[in-house]
Amino acid sequence: MKQYTYFLLLGVIAILEVGIFFWSVENLEPLVMTGAVIIGVLAAWISRQMVDDVITDERSHLITEKASLRTLQVMGITLFSYALGGVVISLGGDTFGPFSYQIARFSFLLMFIVFLMIIVYILFISWYERKFGAGGEDEE
């Protein structure tokens, strides 16, 4: 399969996932949504294995690594700022009325997820440093 066909297939999978998500929310069926996500990820992975004309080199890997790091940094700061703002606004007054407590709880959960993301990032850094021998130790 060609790479552009793969991207088209990913788009179709994503549209199906969104449709199943909305159906699951309307019918209160979280297991269907969970199963659809797992099946969608497996379908994307299997179809990725069938792509035959992908050309990857060190430059493309470097670009992907830099883009991933910047995405992590920007989204981490954005989500943390959003969560902090939600906590401050909801606990500081009656801005959201009876929903203030729920918004504060959601904001604290979002902060926890951001901190968990940072911890996972640090764990991966330490794992890769051990795997590839980085970390400041001299090789003599």
Q: What is the pLDDT of residues 72-102, one digit of tens each?
A: 889 989 998 988 888 887 776 666 667 777 7
Model pLDDT for residues 55-80, shown as the tens digit of each residue: 677 887 888 889 888 988 899 899 98
Both 115 and 73 in one domain: the answer is yes
Say if residues 48 and 6 touch (Cβ distance below 8 Å): yes
Instruction: Please tell me the total count of domains within the chain.
Output: 2
Both 137 and 83 in one domain: the answer is yes
Both 84 and 68 in one domain: the answer is yes
The last residue of one of the domains, among 20, 38, 54, is 54
Q: What angle do CA 136, 71, 18 make, to 5 degrees?
A: 140
Q: Which residues form the domain of 118? A: 57-140
